[in-house]
């Protein structure tokens, strides 16, 4: 059995930075620690932080009710109003927003202030996109498919700034931009997909094209892992999406000679190593 592990599998810079910040606060002994939303989309990491006493806050009401402790702003970022809320109530916080996401906040804030309509290519329900929308001074538009791109109806010549969720599928981004170009808007197009995401997707595509089976490891709510699965599935029909080793059924792998492994940006190295070792030793 030959096993190929993607070099880009595992924590990206932004995720590693965010997780380290939470552990630093949890180990500091300075009082209760909270994250506003799950710090990253990985259930194993969130559970381990809970064991250290880190509590996840899910709503603004929970945030407003705090009387002590420190809040960690999640890697996906939050709307500007959350910063305003924390500062108005004097709640200490640590900003663990991914720097690449923070850059998008600055872009949409400036361009919307100048009067441009903001078009975000991404998943409208994803927390990163929710955060980006919260920095716009004009009503933003979210596009996630050819249908929503074709259905965008603004006057010809409208000033538009187009950005992307950092974990969006790069090829899909290009396709949607092409549709929007036909609208004849006065447009600025900024590819804000994280470079690590592009590299990860490109490597996954290359590996999946030359193996008998592909294993994609990541949290079930991880957008970038879902994109990896979609990309690999197009290249390799025998593609499997798992969260941990517990989810892996090796029965279908008995007839495969070459297996590829990749993982989302929020997947800990420990889980990746466990899966890789198990596949190598058991097949």
Active site amino acids? 128
The two structure tokens encoding residue 204: 């996954």
Check if the beta carbon of residue 20 is closer than 8 Å to that of residue 105.
no
Interaxial angle between packed helices 223-235 and 195-208, expressed in degrees from 0 to 180 and rounded to the nearest 10: 30
Radius of gyration of the chain (CA): 20
Burial of 47 (0-12, 13-18, 19+ CB in 10 A): exposed
Q: In what order do the strands lie in the sheet with 213-217?
A: 2-5, 258-263, 213-217, 239-242
The two structure tokens encoding residue 174: 């290009």
Task: Give SS3 for 185.
Answer: coil
CA dihedral 8→9→12→17, nearest 10 degrees, is -130
């Amino acid at each position: 059995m030959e096993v190929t592990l993607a070099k880009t599998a595992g924590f990206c810079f932004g995720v590693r930075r965010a997780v380290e910040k939470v552990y630093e606060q949890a180990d500091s002994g300075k009082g209760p620690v909270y994250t506003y939303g799950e710090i990253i989309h990985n259930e194993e990491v969130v559970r381990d932080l809970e064991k250290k006493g880190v509590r996840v806050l899910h709503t603004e009401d929970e945030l407003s009710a705090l009387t002590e402790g420190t809040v960690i702003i999640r890697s996906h970022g939050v709307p500007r109003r959350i910063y305003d809320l924390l500062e108005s109530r004097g709640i200490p916080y640590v900003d663990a927003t991914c720097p690449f996401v923070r850059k998008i906040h600055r872009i949409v804030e400036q361009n919307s202030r100048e009067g441009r309509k903001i078009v975000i290519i991404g998943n409208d329900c994803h927390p990163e996109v929710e955060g980006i929308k919260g920095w716009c001074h004009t009503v933003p538009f979210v596009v996630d498919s050819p249908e929503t791109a074709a259905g965008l109806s603004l006057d010809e010549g409208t000033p538009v700034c187009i950005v992307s969720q950092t974990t969006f599928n790069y090829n899909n981004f290009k396709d949607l931009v092409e549709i929007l170009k036909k609208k004849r808007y006065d447009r600025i197009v900024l590819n804000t997909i994280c470079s690590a995401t592009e590299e990860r997707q490109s490597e996954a595509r290359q590996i999946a094209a030359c193996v008998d089976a592909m294993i994609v490891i990541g949290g079930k709510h991880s957008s970038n892992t879902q994109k990896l699965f979609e990309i690999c599935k197009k290249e390799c029909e025998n593609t499997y999406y798992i969260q941990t080793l517990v989810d892996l059924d090796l029965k279908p792998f008995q007839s495969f000679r070459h297996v590829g492994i990749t993982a989302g940006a929020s997947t800990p190295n420990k889980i990746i190593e466990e899966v890789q070792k198990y596949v190598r030793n058991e097949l």
